[in-house]
Amino acid sequence: MRIVCIGGGPAGLYFGLLMKQENPAHRITVVERNRPYDTFGWGVVFSDATMENMRAWDAETAHEIESAFNHWDDIEVLIKGRRMRTTGHGFVGIGRKKLLNILQARCEALGVELVFDREVDSDLEFPDADLIIAADGINSKIRNRYKDVFKPDLAVRPNRFIWLGTDWRYDAFTFDFRRTEHGWFQAHIYKFDENTSTFIVETTEDIFKAHGLDAADEARSIAFCEELFSEVLDGARLMSNARHLRGSAWLNFNRLICGRWSHFNGNGHVVLMGDAAHTAHFAIGSGTKLALEDAIELTRQFHNLGAAPDQIPTVLAAYEEARAVDVARIQNAARNAMEWFEVVGSRYADTLEPEQFMYSLLTRSQRISHENLRLRDKAWLENYERWFAARCGINVIADGPTVPPMFTPYTIRGVTLPNRIVVSPMAMYSAVDGMPNDFHLVHLGSRALGGAGLVFGEMTCVSPQGRITPGCLGLWNDAQAQAWKRLVDFIHTTPAKAGLQLGHSGRKGSTSVPWEGGVDQPLERGNWPVMSASPVTYLSDGAIPRQMTRDDMERVKAEFRAAAARGAAAGFDVLELHCAHGYLLSSFLSPLTNRRRDEFGGVAENRARYPLDIFRAVRAVWPHERPISVRLSCHDWTEGGNTPEDAALFARLFKAAGADMIDCSSGQVWHDDKPVYGRLYQTPFADKIRNEVGIATIAVGAISEADHANSIIAAGRADLCAIARPHLADPAWTLHEAAKIGVKSVPWPQQYLSGKTQYETNLARAAAPSAAGLMKA
């Protein structure tokens, strides 16, 4: 085959040499606009997994790279006068120039033609090529020629960074955070050869401008960074080798995703590779890894499917399919890490104590969890657990036993929860006339026995018309209050506290119990009229709600007030106001469902006016020493709906009105919403609100194991974790998760103690490899 690689970066060179090695008969040329040893940048980092992959495909190149590697295990963090270190993180670094020189030399040895100093403007300059690799980097001319085909989605990220080097030899991957009069800067520093370290300085656009760096030339920028980071530089100088850049040496990262990667240009096939196809932010240092793995995958597909011109379309389709998944995975992790650095100054640096700040930094991509950190650096993690436990009032002994974060107590107003796990409110649709019955006693009672720190009952309705279905629970009369008291009293025989979620169904009311007529479906018989902020239905064929009048609003407020007073008398410890999921109060908050023109509609502050009014009414009758949480849909997942920014604004308003916590849910406001589901998918909302607004939060949604909860609590992304569906599968979720991570100190009901011992022993047996072996024998 005739192959031309446009661009002599890692992708183009490596693909060229791999294919030549596969079959020396291929005629391969790499065309590069720079001269051989002219390149920008300093060091790049790889993981062990990338190296293993490279060894399998070209042992010689891998060996050369490995001999030039610098390996280090430690991460050091400097912030607010503290210098903290952890180990076990295993990175390798190599100079970009060195890497390219190795690849160039190997290309030459194998007979790949290298053409330097030639700027390529079009793929049509190579009419004889069967295959053209567009490996011409992020600003790829070739990709841009076929925009309509490749459909590039390029997002210019808000932070500014400058990629510098220094001859100071750092023995750890170092992160240095410095505050100026305008805000925070961070440096990402790592050594990549015997004498040199990469030194990337990053900040937000407004801070960059406030310091006049937009008008500064390279020399002034360097002088600024040298002064700011003088402590960590310890007299060393910073250097630039970005002379090819015009204007400011400060860049914005461009995040690139392409809809397609290949195209037939009439003569040959053009395929994108490396940064021309996708980018991953340097916060997880994977751009070069992705470029090299693209080259490996395309070679593998030619190897498996046949390296002949007529096979090219099949091979390219297989390449794209195989790489799409891996690239998306890395890009997701890179996005989390990149966003962390974009908000670090406004969200974490001033708010979190250095210890917790470091934990948050280490887990920024959400790929490294609590137990993962334990594997990397047990001593560091255990010390952190002790530090965290001491902050929660636990009497810790140096080197003594540790308490994982989810099992630390939590005090809010006058209420102390024994741990951080909450049974999330879950409608059971099993009441008649809103009355709690034996089902509810056993259901909530068994979850209280199961170890959670706070057990919420389901959405409890303030009036018969405020029910979702005829099976919903209520608190609009004294008989219901008496029945609730029996449940609350039972919960109080366990260490758990009892939570009451008060709500009104609004436009989502008068529907059938899910297993009778389907979820959210209007009742066939016995309907009641529904009302909402505006006459906007939930289902397109659902009942049209009446727009609430001022009289309606006053009446419903009185119902909330009366229900809260009954709840307080029944002994509930925590109250939650349900302002989420498209029910009555949520329908005021969302612009999708609130179309009012009075003072309760329009801008966010107006939309929040009625929910805040209700909040103040219940706060006034709810005992001062007991906390109130507010559940919000922090994202409507619908164009034109509320976003996390709106949720943060609502949180601020509720905080000012006396709310103690925000329970951060999302969606269910608009029927066609498009939530982006995934592990811990709503936790970023809890993180944002907690650390930007300064109010306690409850994280909820796809939190399914102790490792998740520990990571969330330890990093300060939330104060409590609400677990819903896993509690339907396992009432004793908390006790079982404790046993799974080897925590024996969480108390089981004394009646169940012999079950505890057996459960723990069985888990230990199942985990012991020798035991497994014996079983097989």
Ligand X SMILES: Cc1cc2nc3c(=O)[nH]c(=O)nc-3n(C[C@H](O)[C@H](O)[C@H](O)COP(=O)(O)OP(=O)(O)OC[C@H]3O[C@@H](n4cnc5c(N)ncnc54)[C@H](O)[C@@H]3O)c2cc1C
Q: Is 256 in the site for ligand X (CB under 6 A)?
A: no
Member of 543, 699, 700, 739 binding ligand FMN (CB under 6 A): 700
Q: Is 117 in the site for ligand X (CB under 6 A)?
A: no
Which residues have a Cβ under 8 Å from the Cβ of 412 and sit 6 or more positions away?
627, 660, 661, 696, 719
Member of 285, 405, 471, 495 binding ligand X (CB under 6 A): 285
**What is the spatial distance between Cα 146 and Cα 148, in angstroms, rounded to a whole number?**
5
Q: Is 469 in the site for ligand FMN (CB under 6 A)?
A: no
Q: Is 723 in the site for ligand FMN (CB under 6 A)?
A: yes
Q: Which of 752, 761, 715 is nearest to 362 (CA)?
A: 715
Q: Which among 178-186, 271-279, 422-430, 520-528 is the span making contact with ligand FMN, rule CB under 6 A?
A: 422-430
**Which phi and psi angles does 553 have, rounded to 5°?**
-65, -40
Q: Is 467 in the site for ligand FMN (CB under 6 A)?
A: no
Smaller CB distance to ligand X: residue 121 or 489?
A: 121
Residues in the chain: 777
Q: Which among 332-340, 650-658, 700-708, 763-771 is the span making contact with ligand FMN, rule CB under 6 A?
A: 700-708
Member of 166, 286, 366, 512 binding ligand X (CB under 6 A): 286
**What is the spatial distance between Cα 268 and Cα 629, in angstroms, rounded to a whole number?**
62
Q: Is 506 in the site for ligand X (CB under 6 A)?
A: no
Q: Is 440 in the site for ligand FMN (CB under 6 A)?
A: no
Query: Are the C-beta atoms of 458 and 428 separated by less than 8 Å?
Result: yes
Question: For residue 709, what is the enclosing H or E element?
Answer: helix 706-714
**What is the spatial distance between Cα 222 and Cα 201, in angstroms, rounded to a whole number?**
10
Q: Which of 583, 610, 681, 759 is catalytic?
A: 583
For ligand FMN, the binding residues in 725-764 under the rule CB under 6 A are: 725-726
**What is the spatial distance between Cα 110 and Cα 58, in angstroms, rounded to a whole number?**
12
Member of 274, 436, 445, 716 binding ligand X (CB under 6 A): 274
**What is the spatial distance between Cα 408 and Cα 756, in angstroms, rounded to a whole number?**
20
State CA 656 to chain mean position distance: 28
Choose the contact partner of 426 out of ligand X, ligand FMN, none; CB within 5 to 8 A by kind.
Answer: ligand FMN
Taking the complex as a whole, the smallest distance from the CB of residue 41 to ligand X amounts, in Å, to 6
Query: Over the Cα atoms of the chain, what is R_g?
Result: 30
Which residues have a Cβ under 8 Å from the Cβ of 56 and sit 6 or more positions away?
none
For ligand FMN, the binding residues in 568-597 under the rule CB under 6 A are: 578, 580
Smaller CB distance to ligand FMN: residue 282 or 685?
A: 685
Member of 8, 95, 165, 471 binding ligand X (CB under 6 A): 8
Query: Are the C-beta atoms of 179 and 204 separated by less than 8 Å?
Result: no
User: How is residue 212 annotated by DSSP?
Assistant: T
**Which phi and psi angles does 577 have, rounded to 5°?**
-95, 120
Member of 281, 508, 626, 631 binding ligand FMN (CB under 6 A): 631
Give catalytic status of residue 759 as yes or no: no
Tokens of 410: 């939590």
Taking the complex as a whole, the smallest distance from the CB of residue 575 to ligand FMN amounts, in Å, to 13
Question: For residue 460, what is the enclosing H or E element?
Answer: strand 454-461
Choose the contact partner of 9 out of ligand X, ligand FMN, none; CB within 5 to 8 A by kind.
Answer: ligand X
**What is the spatial distance between Cα 325 and Cα 286, in angstroms, rounded to a whole number?**
15
CB closest to ligand FMN, residue no = 724
For ligand X, the binding residues in 215-244 under the rule CB under 6 A are: none
Q: Are strands 628-633 and 546-547 parallel, antiparallel or unpaired?
A: unpaired
Member of 108, 117, 119, 321 binding ligand X (CB under 6 A): 119
**What is the spatial distance between Cα 584 and Cα 578, in angstroms, rounded to a whole number?**
9
Q: Which among 8-16, 97-105, 242-250, 720-728 is the span making contact with ligand FMN, rule CB under 6 A?
A: 720-728
Smaller CB distance to ligand FMN: residue 459 or 661?
A: 459
Residue corresponding to tokens 């459909």: 151
Member of 1, 3, 11, 133 binding ligand X (CB under 6 A): 11
**What is the spatial distance between Cα 732 and Cα 85, in angstroms, rounded to a whole number?**
38
**What is the spatial distance between Cα 369 and Cα 614, in angstroms, rounded to a whole number?**
39
Each residue 653-692 as x (binds ligand FMN by CB under 6 A) or -, in order, gives ------------x---------------------------
Q: Is 33 in the site for ligand X (CB under 6 A)?
A: yes
Residue corresponding to tokens 């008008």: 215
| Residues in touch with ligand FMN (CB under 6 A) | 424-427, 458-459, 501, 578, 580, 631, 665, 700-703, 723-726
| Residues in touch with ligand X (CB under 6 A) | 6-12, 31-34, 41, 44-45, 119-120, 135-137, 141, 161, 163, 200, 274-276, 282, 285-289, 291
- Positions marked active-site: 583
